[in-house]
Amino acid sequence: MNGAGAAIGCVCCIALGLLTQHGQSRVLVWGGDAEGGAPFVEADPGDPSTVRGFDVEVAARIAGGLSRSAARFVQVQWANIDQSVERGDFTLGLSGVEDTPVRRARHAVTLPYFEFREVLAVRTEDRDRIRGLHDLRGRRVGTLGATIAYDLLLSVLAASFKKKVSYDDDVHPYADLVAGRLDAVLLDHIIAQRALSRTASHGDEEFVILPAAVASGHYVGVLARRDSALRDSIDAVLREAMRDGSLEQIFRRWHVWDDSQGALFERVLRPGTTAGRDGDVAAAPARAIAYLPSLARAAAVTLLLSVLSMSLAVLVGLGLASGRLYGPLPLRIVTTGYIELVRGTPLLLQLFVIYYGLAGIVRLPAFLAALLALGLNYAAYEAEIYRGALEAVPRLQLEAGRTLGLSEAQILRLVRAPQALRYALAPMTNDFVALLKDSSLVSVITVVELTKQTAIYATNVGNWVVPGLLCAIVYLAMSLPLSRLARRLERRWGGRSS
Amino acid sequence: MGRAILLTTLLTIDGLGVRHDSRDLVRGFSLAVGRGEIVALMGPSGVGKTTVLRVVAALQAFDAGHVIVDGFALGPGPIPAESRLRPLRRRVGLVFQAHALFEHLTALDNVTLALRHVLGQNRSEADLLASKLLAGLDVGSRASAWPRQLSGGEAQRVAIARALALDPPLLLMDEPTAALDAARRTGLGTTLRRLAQQGRGLLIATHDTEFARDYADRAINLVSAPRPADAR
């Protein structure tokens, strides 16, 4: 009884702690993405439970300037920093967060504290052929989703139907550049230099960074709109840190200090500067409309990918089911093994293995890899549906075929399969609708389909309501007619009664 | 005399034994059916009437004795591969008690299936012959109906037409009167007599003694079939 009481008390304490932790005024809770890595935020190799990086030190400097006892880090996916800060998951978002008009319009944004340049990276052998964005006509260019670089590619390249490839992390674009899947990567110069030093340590430099910057931008801290007073205090701390040289020291320690930072500090500290406060709100609706064509294109990708994957799944599934039902023992073992392996492991893992794991043997284009992964995964489920449906055909029907002199193959083709199709139709429709939605997983291997495009759209307009609704409507528009068609077919084939 | 019997005998079952789960389903059963003859296979439910029909149609393996259908012999042991049974399929037609019409095909296509895919007839040839068969059994007007739309009597006649599609000399029927009213029973009896007059042999499993008495030439009782003491 005492034990139970103590346990309940303990749980209450923890719950209370969780509830009040963001309200603690003594600790500055800030969020960033350690997956983005150094030099922004990365897990400390010496103690992976803590983080290090220049943004970590900037956060600590801000906490000190606000007389907070400490800065506590919260991990969040980079693209979700804005949404999380509004939700109250943390007070300050800081992790290479870019200064954009939309962000300024939607959230409370600090002074710019770092100036970055958007630079192009190309393979070493292409350095003479590709000198700027204009040389990338008809080529594949990779970047991070929901960044200034992404919008830049969208506006400069989309007009002439260039291929852009969006990533969720900043490691894979450079890996794919070296692997030949991309012709160029457009990203912040810090990220590009880090990627270069990573590959250079292996020996020859496999890609180069073009010296001319495509554009420049600033890193800022982002706070919830309601926290504009705190934002003003943080701005004061940042100004102080620029004046007393502590910010410069941080950047020098992480080897990211250059002349443009000095110039930025000078501009910020000049009397009367508000550094682009109050963003360009009028631009937001125009941007929403600008995303509609890419949303439509992404819906087409989703539909095409789903239809092709399902076709592959049906064909392979039929083979697996017949192998399992009619094949000799070794084939039955192999097909059963395949089905259990594929059904027993996550589709996400299979996607990674086919796209990145097989890259050493065969370099599959992203769409093909997605098609194969989805098709081969769903084939295992289809096979079990077909096996069940084939086994559900009454034995008498097969015997009737036998007494008429039909061969086993003819019985399968003329009697068993057509009847099994009726049993299989409903679960197959179900699977297709599930596949339609599972196809959103392939965004992890750079295929921009409907959900990914919606996420990019939502991040850019800073709001999930309209993009989410639009996305849901498009998914429903694709799946509802299919369910209706299946019901009609079922009625036509099986609903007859005397 | 022996030669004459050989020529006119369509089906010979000799010392048939069928075991299942170390239990005798049928033991030491013998029977002969001649051309133009209707033989009723009698006995209460569960005595093994259906088993005998299934053995003759090579749907069930047996353990002892032998079966000869119009010169085609079946022996004890596993059922031979379908490719080796092709001659038997042309000699025996079977009408299941539940009819077992193909649910996904119309009445007409139930009959044309074997014509087209076993005999290799083209669509119009097969349709013509199947229509004649259906019309001859008074279900010509139901050709385009689906099995689920047919009454019990109609379904049975479509099943007979399907079994006759390959023109087999021997026709097996399992409990044909089970779901028929008096008028339909008379109609069926007349049809069976007509088939026998065409020279076919009919083996009909039934427990309907009245029907057997009215239409069969002979009745064999499965329970009272000879059981030699050494059959085990």
* A10-113+220-281 CATH choice from 3.40.1390.10, 3.30.1360.40, 3.40.190.10, 3.40.50.300: 3.40.190.10
Residue with structure tokens 């077992």?
A: B100
User: Could you report the per-residue pLDDT of B140-161, keeping only the tens digit for each?
Assistant: 999 999 999 999 889 999 999 9
Say how far apart CA A462 and CA A146 lie, in whole Å: 10
Residue with structure tokens 């930072």?
A: A261
Q: Which residues of A touch B149 (CB under 8 A)?
A: 496-498
Q: Which residues of A touch B (CB under 8 A)?
A: 394, 396-397, 399-408, 410, 414-415, 418-419, 422, 493, 496-498
Asked if A298 contacts A452 with a C-beta cutoff of 8 angstroms, the reply is yes
From the list B59, B82, B113, the residue facing A414 with the nearest CB is B113
- pLDDT for res A81: 87
ipTM (interface pTM)? 0.91
- pLDDT for res B5: 43
Cβ-in-10-Å burial (0-12, 13-18, 19+) of A61 comes to buried
Say how far apart CA B133 and CA B130 lie, in whole Å: 5
- pLDDT for res B118: 93
Say how far apart CA A423 and CA A386 lie, in whole Å: 9
Cβ-in-10-Å burial (0-12, 13-18, 19+) of A131 comes to middle
User: A285-494: same fold as A10-113+220-281?
Assistant: no
From the list B82, B85, B100, the residue facing A400 with the nearest CB is B100
Say how far apart CA B159 and CA A423 lie, in whole Å: 24
* B2-231 CATH choice from 3.40.50.300, 3.50.50.60, 3.30.70.580, 3.40.50.620: 3.40.50.300
The nearest alpha carbon in chain B to A490 belongs to: B104
Q: Which pair of tokens denotes residue A112? A: 């710019």
Using pLDDT thresholds of 50, 70 and 90, give the confidence band for residue B2: very low
The nearest alpha carbon in chain A to B101 belongs to: A397
* A285-494 CATH choice from 1.10.3720.10, 1.10.260.40, 3.40.50.300, 2.30.30.30: 1.10.3720.10
Asked if A397 contacts B102 with a C-beta cutoff of 8 angstroms, the reply is yes
Task: Considering only CA atoms, give the Rg of chain A.
Answer: 28
Q: In this complex, do B100 and A396 lie within 8 Å of one another by their Cβ atoms?
A: yes
Asked if A66 contacts A52 with a C-beta cutoff of 8 angstroms, the reply is no
Say how far apart CA B215 and CA A222 lie, in whole Å: 97
Report the 10 Å Cβ neighbour count for A303: 17
Using pLDDT thresholds of 50, 70 and 90, give the confidence band for residue B88: very high
3-state secondary structure chain B: CHHHHHHHEEEEEEEEEEEECCEEEEEEEEEEEECCCEEEEECCCCCCHHHHHHHHCCCCCECEEEEEECCEEECCECCCCHHHHHHHHHHEEEECCCCCCCCCCCHHHHHHHHHHHCCCCCHHHHHHHHHHHHHHCCCHHHCCCCHHHCCHHHHHHHHHHHHHCCCCCEEEEECCCCCCCHHHHHHHHHHHHHHHHCCCEEEEECCCHHHHHHHCCEEEECCCCCCCHHHC
> In this structure, is the dihedral angle defined by the CA atoms of residues A302, A304, A307 and A312, taken in order, positive or negative?
negative
Number of CB pairs, chain A paired with chain B, less than 8 A apart: 69
- pLDDT for res A5: 56
Angle between helices A259-269 and A228-244 (to 10 degrees): 120
The nearest alpha carbon in chain B to A400 belongs to: B100
Residue B146, chain A, CB below 8 Å: the answer is yes
A116-217 folds as: D-Maltodextrin-Binding Protein; domain 2 (3.40.190)
Say how far apart CA A223 and CA A92 lie, in whole Å: 5
Say how far apart CA A197 and CA A215 lie, in whole Å: 22
Q: In this complex, do A403 and B92 lie within 8 Å of one another by their Cβ atoms?
A: yes
Q: Which pair of tokens denotes residue B34? A: 């001649």
The ranges assigned to domains in chain A are 10-113+220-281, 116-217, 285-494
Q: Can you point out the beta strands (E) in A95-151?
A: 108-109, 114-123, 140-144
- pLDDT for res A136: 79
How many angstroms from the chain centroid is the CA of residue A204? 31
- pLDDT for res A357: 82
- The C-alpha angle A409, A421, A429, rounded to 5 degrees, equals 145
Q: Can you point out the beta strands (E) in A41-113?
A: 42-43, 51-52, 70-75, 92-93, 108-109
Say how far apart CA A17 and CA B123 lie, in whole Å: 81
Closest CA–CA distance from residue B85 to any residue of chain A (Å): 8
- Averaged pLDDT for residues B162-177: 93
User: Could you report the per-residue pLDDT of B209-224, keeping only the tens digit for each?
Assistant: 999 999 999 999 887 4
Q: In this complex, do B148 and A497 lie within 8 Å of one another by their Cβ atoms?
A: yes
Residue at A268: amino acid letter: V
Residues of chain A falling short of pLDDT 70:
1-25, 36-37, 157-165, 168-169, 171, 200-204, 272-288, 290, 459-462, 494-498
User: Could you report the per-residue pLDDT of A143-181, keeping only the tens digit for each?
Assistant: 887 778 887 777 776 555 456 667 766 767 888 888 888
Closest CA–CA distance from residue A326 to any residue of chain B (Å): 14
Task: Considering only CA atoms, give the Rg of chain B.
Answer: 18
Say how far apart CA B99 and CA B95 lie, in whole Å: 6
* Of residues A91, A200, A103, A194, the one with CA closest to residue A147: A103
Q: Where would I find the H helices in A122-205?
A: 148-157, 172-179, 189-200
- Averaged pLDDT for residues B192-201: 93
Q: Rounded to two decimals, what is the model's pTM?
A: 0.67
- pLDDT for res B43: 86
Q: Which residues contact B9 (CB under 8 A, 6 or more apart)?
A: B32, B33, B34, B35
Q: Which residues of B touch A404 (CB under 8 A)?
A: 89, 113-114, 118, 162, 165-166
Closest CA–CA distance from residue A387 to any residue of chain B (Å): 19
